[in-house]
Amino acid sequence: MSQTSYRTAEIDGLKIFYREAGRADATTLLLLHGFPSAGHMFRDLIPLLADHFHLVAPDLPGFGQSDMPERTKFGYTFDNIAGAIDRFTEVIGLGRFAIYVFDYGAPTGFRLAMRHPERITVIISQNGNAYAEGLSDGWNPIRTYWQDPSETNRAALRAFLTPEATFWQYTHGVADPSLVSPDGRSLDDHYLVRPGAQEVQLDLFLDYASNVGLYPEFQAYFRRHTPPFLAVWGKNDPFFLPAGAEAFKRDIPGAEVRFFDTGHFALETHCAEIAAAIRDFLDRTLRL
């Protein structure tokens, strides 16, 4: 087992915290987390892969241990987050690398792939969507905010930022909730109550519409470059439906899709199975 190091990189005045493990000369896998989490969501996955791969898991700007600049100084959009992570990969010296994208990590990682298709070796999507049919009705309150960004509709979304909502996200669709450690969701709740954090998250809820607007461009990238692609999907996810995972096959005929009987945070219950699927896929794909 390789040790995990905890580092900080400065990106144009912005500090990005990240976890790193494995040999620097091994195949690199950039792990991009989702809402409302941070790089700690990969705490169990990293040790299972670090003997064979180089793992890098940054906290996105505004999340986890990374800087959360004031909203007047940093616009919380997915374009800006992707730009910061793009610079992060350059600053820490990543050349070509695979990406593991989850939830918010998907529109971040797909933007990187469109900007630098020559740098992306493999894409692994764990409940990271790029198709309209992958969005469930659970998005309806956020869709309402996209259509009418009023203070009333913004305030209604604060219900997504409560400990009860975090608990629900972690346990919905899980056969045995006792298998879900409280550690991850408790950290997420801690970060969500920092001064200004909820306004940041509400800004990102609004800007998520930009990701849906980019779905045709993401799909065009998939068709044009056909990157080796593996979907590892919690099939009971209340936000991103199995149809969204299957849809990748339309644009990447060789895409592989594997479903697990769990919810949104699939690593909480099926980390060993997902790690095995990743090892198998990367070993087969990168030998070609």
Give yes or no: 172 in active site.
no
Side chain identity at residue 241, one-letter code: L
- 213-218 long-range Cβ contacts below 8 angstroms, 24+ apart: 214/107, 214/110, 214/111, 215/130, 215/131, 215/132, 217/114, 218/107, 218/110, 218/114, 218/130
Q: Give the CA count within 13 Å in the CB-facing half-sphere of 214.
A: 21
Q: 46 with 72: CB under 8 angstroms?
A: no
Of 33, 40, 172, 264, which one is the catalytic site residue? 264
Indicate left, alpha or beta for 29 from its phi (over 0: left) and psi (-120 to 50: alpha).
Answer: beta
- Give Cβ neighbours of residue 97 (< 8 Å, ≥ 6 apart): 27, 28, 29, 30, 56, 89, 119, 120, 121
Q: Give the CA count within 13 Å in the CB-facing half-sphere of 179.
A: 14
Looking at residue 60, the DSSP 8-state letter turns out to be P
Cis link prior to 182 (omega < 30° from 0)? no
Active site residues: 264
